[in-house]
Structure 1
Amino acid sequence: MVKKKILGIALSIAGIAVVSAVVVQKSTAQKNDNTQVTIGSIGSDAQIWEHIAKLPETKKEHITIKVKNFTDGVSLNTATAQSKVDVNAFQSYAYFVAFNKSNSTSKLSALGTTYLEPMGIYSEKYKHIDDIPDGSTIAIANNAANTARGLKLLAKSGLITLKEDFGSLSGVNDIKSNPHHFKFIEIDDTTGPRVIKDDSIAAALIGNTIALQGKLNVLKDAIYYEKVNQSTKDNINILATAEKNKNNKQLKKLVKLYHSKAAQKYINQKFDGTKIEVQKPITYLSK
């Protein structure tokens, strides 16, 4: 009887050991299954991904996010194309297209849409778009995608007209008529909030990411801004990765995480509704 009891205890201990080993192995496997993703971003978008990195939803997807801050889009896209960064979150679809056209070998692929944040026309001197005097100097971005976007916005406001074949990379040479005889000066668009304080500048076209860095709210401070409609679809922001990663399932989960309820609640509260969620297939942008 004693021997049977001892044998039973031994078998129980052995059983517990086996179960413990299985649990440990499973836990280790889960830990090793975690995908570490480096997301490159600029300004307010970096804040968004730092928040998403901490969400329970992200942990459930077994993704560990590291956010790396950049100061300009060209270097960020280059780093992404070279796989120094896994994914980037900062650019419009038009900016993405422009980068790929100018880089024949290091191309990017779009993973999904995130939001549209309106570009605005800002002025320290004038309260209404029609108040800008003839012959004034207007500052526009010095990169092709944002130059074209700014000119389209000026045309939408009625200040200029554009040629019929005006495209997403067109510039001031494709203005059809300039009845107010405006002069245009190209600037590094990251300097926009400072430029509007310059006495020689009547107004500046500023993207919302940069505006937010300058403590400007496009819905409140711009004298004119983009509306969300079919004509602004090229301005929808995306997540981008190196072309070789375009079918990576783990990276595609980042799109889902961005559109989660928890992430959207934070974004709307943090940025006063200036980042308008757009959940569309990539094919919507290329139509």
Structure 2
Amino acid sequence: MVKKKTVVIAAVVAGIVIVAGVIIHRNTAQTTDKTEVTVGSIGSDAQIWEYIAKLPETKKENITIKVKNFTDGVSLNTATAQGKVDVNAFQSYAYFVAYNKSNSSNKLSVLGTTYLEPMGIYSEKYDSIDDIPDGSTIAIANNAANTARGLKLLAKAGLITLKDNFNSLSGVNDIKSNPHNFKFKEIDDTTGPRVIKDNSIAAALIGNTIALEGKLNVLKDSLYYEKINQSTKDNINILATAEKNKNNAKFKKLVKLYHSKAAQKYINKKFDGTKIEVQKSVSYLAD
């Protein structure tokens, strides 16, 4: 009888140990499964990721998002390629392509699409593009992707025409005709909102992220802005990471978090509809 009791007690104790072991294992797995992801961003995009970092959806995915602010795209892409930043959120697909062509040994990869926000033509001196005098100076970005994007917008507005072989990395040398004899001044595109206050500048091409920092709304304050169609596909913004991390499952979850209902509700309200959601496959961009 004593032996039977001893066997039963031993079995119960063993069962408790096993259950406790399972609980400890589960708790350890949950702890180690939690991942901190550093997201590098610029301006208003950083605000978005600071908001997403606090969402219950993010906690549910066992992800801790740490947002790191940058002031320029080149240093942010470099930091991402070097692994100092896990994922970045600031650039258009065209900007990404231009970076990779110039940095073949430190390439980035696309994780997913986020939004398209129109680039606009802004002026503090004129109320219409038709009012801009011949011979005026127009400020355009000094990086290849945004230079080409700005020139395409000027062409869409009917101010210039472009050569047939014009592409996402073309510049002012690929202008076919300039009937108004405009002069073009290349600027750091983050300075756009300040540049339009310069008396020597008639108008400036400004991306919406930078425009928002300068309290400008592209839908209300620009003279002319990009329309959403196939021709602006290269201007869709993306999440990017170092090429070696392109299949990282945790990083890919950031795309899902960006497109969550809670995040989109915040973005639409915060940015007055200027960041238009685009949820497309990566292959859509390359087609």
For Structure 1 versus Structure 2, the TM-score category normalised by the shorter chain is over 0.9
- How far 1:28 moved relative to its partner? 2.4
- How far 1:285 moved relative to its partner? 1.0
Any idea what SS the aligned residue of 1:159 has? Answer: coil
Look up the equivalent residue of 1:215 and give its one-letter code: K
Any idea what SS the aligned residue of 1:205 has? Answer: strand
Any idea what SS the aligned residue of 2:205 has? Answer: strand
Any idea what SS the aligned residue of 1:255 has? Answer: helix
- How far 1:102 moved relative to its partner? 0.5
The 1-side partners of 2:210 and 2:286 are apart by 26
The 1-side partners of 2:52 and 2:172 are apart by 39
Larger CA deviation: 147-156 vs 49-58: 49-58
Partner residue in 1 for 2:34: 34
Any idea what SS the aligned residue of 2:98 has? Answer: helix
Q: When the two structures are superposed, what TM-score results if normalisation uses the length of structure 2?
A: 0.94
The 2-side partners of 1:28 and 1:104 are apart by 40
Q: Deviations over 1:126-175 (max 9, x none)?
A: 11111111111100000010000000000000000000000101001110
After the TM superposition, which residues 242-281 of structure 1 pair with which residues of structure 2 at under 5 Å, given as runs?
Answer: 242-281=242-281
Partner residue in 2 for 1:163: 163
Partner residue in 1 for 2:61: 61
Larger CA deviation: 213-222 vs 7-16: 7-16
The 2-side partners of 1:54 and 1:170 are apart by 41
| RMSD, matched Cα | 2.0
The 2-side partners of 1:61 and 1:113 are apart by 19
Residue correspondences, number? 287
- How far 1:18 moved relative to its partner? 5.3
The 1-side partners of 2:8 and 2:131 are apart by 93
After the TM superposition, which residues 79-228 of structure 1 pair with which residues of structure 2 at under 5 Å, given as runs?
Answer: 79-228=79-228
The 2-side partners of 1:245 and 1:35 are apart by 14
Look up the equivalent residue of 1:113 and give its one-letter code: T
Q: When the two structures are superposed, what TM-score results if normalisation uses the length of structure 1?
A: 0.94
* Structure 2 residue runs without a partner (length 5+): none
The 1-side partners of 2:206 and 2:35 are apart by 36
The 1-side partners of 2:156 and 2:246 are apart by 35
The 2-side partners of 1:12 and 1:6 are apart by 10
- How far 1:86 moved relative to its partner? 0.7
* Structure 1 residue runs without a partner (length 5+): none
Partner residue in 1 for 2:283: 283
Look up the equivalent residue of 1:283 and give its one-letter code: S
- How far 1:22 moved relative to its partner? 3.3
The 1-side partners of 2:199 and 2:181 are apart by 18
The 2-side partners of 1:180 and 1:264 are apart by 42
- How far 1:20 moved relative to its partner? 4.7
The 2-side partners of 1:189 and 1:29 are apart by 46
Partner residue in 1 for 2:44: 44
Any idea what SS the aligned residue of 1:30 has? Answer: helix
Look up the equivalent residue of 1:188 and give its one-letter code: D
